[in-house]
Amino acid sequence: MTQCIADSDFPGWHGTTIIGVKKGGEVVIAGDGQVSLGQTVIKGTARKVRRLSPGGYDVIAGFAGSTADAFTLLERLEAKLEATPGQLQRACVELAKDWRTDKYLQKLEAMLIVSDGAQMYVITGAGDVLEPEHDVTAIGSGGNYALAAGRAMMDTDLGAEEIARRAMAIASDICVYTNGNLTVERLGG
Catalytic residues: 16
**Residue (of 62, 22, 18) closest to 187 by Cα position:** 22
Of 53, 73, 78, 76, the closest CA to residue 63 belongs to 73
Residues 6+ positions from 63 with CB-CB distance below 8 Å: 16, 18, 31, 48, 50, 70, 73, 74, 110, 111, 112, 113
Distance between CA atoms of 84 and 88, rounded to whole angstroms?
A: 8
- Relative to beta strand 110-115, strand 59-65 is antiparallel
Q: Give the DSSP H or E segment for 19.
A: strand 17-23
